[in-house]
Amino acid sequence: MSSDMKSSMSCELITRKEAIKRAALLMGGVFVGARTILGAENSPQKNTIDFTDDQVALLDEIADIIIPASDTPGAKSVGSGVFILMMVKDCYTQTEAEVFTSGLNAFSKVCIKLKGKDFLACSLAERIDLVKYVDQEAKHQKAHAKVNATPHYFSMIKELTILSYYTSEIGASHELRYIEVPGSFNGSYPYKKGDRAWST
Per-residue confidence (pLDDT) for residue 13, from 0 to 100:
43
Q: Pick the range with the lowest mean pLDDT from 77-81, 122-126, 136-140, 184-188.
A: 184-188
The size of the chain, in residues, is 200
Whether pLDDT at 105 is above 90: yes
Q: Is 198 helix (H, G, I), strand (E, B) or coil?
A: strand
Per-residue confidence (pLDDT) for residue 90, from 0 to 100:
82
Give the chain's mean pLDDT.
75
Cβ distance 195 to 176 under 8 Å? no
Band of residue 63 on the pLDDT scale cut at 50, 70, 90: very high
Phi-psi region of 2 (alpha: psi -120 to 50; beta: other; left: phi over 0): beta
Cβ distance 170 to 78 under 8 Å? yes
Q: Which of 46-60, 88-102, 124-138 has the highest mean pLDDT?
A: 124-138
Per-residue confidence (pLDDT) for residue 39, from 0 to 100:
52
- What's the count of helices (H) and strands (E) in the chain, helices before strands? 8, 0
Per-residue confidence (pLDDT) for residue 168, from 0 to 100:
77
Band of residue 55 on the pLDDT scale cut at 50, 70, 90: very high
Whether pLDDT at 178 is above 60: no
Whether pLDDT at 20 is above 60: no
Nearest to residue 105, comparing CAs of 150, 163, 58? Answer: 58
Band of residue 93 on the pLDDT scale cut at 50, 70, 90: confident
Q: Find the mean pLDDT for residues 109-129.
A: 95
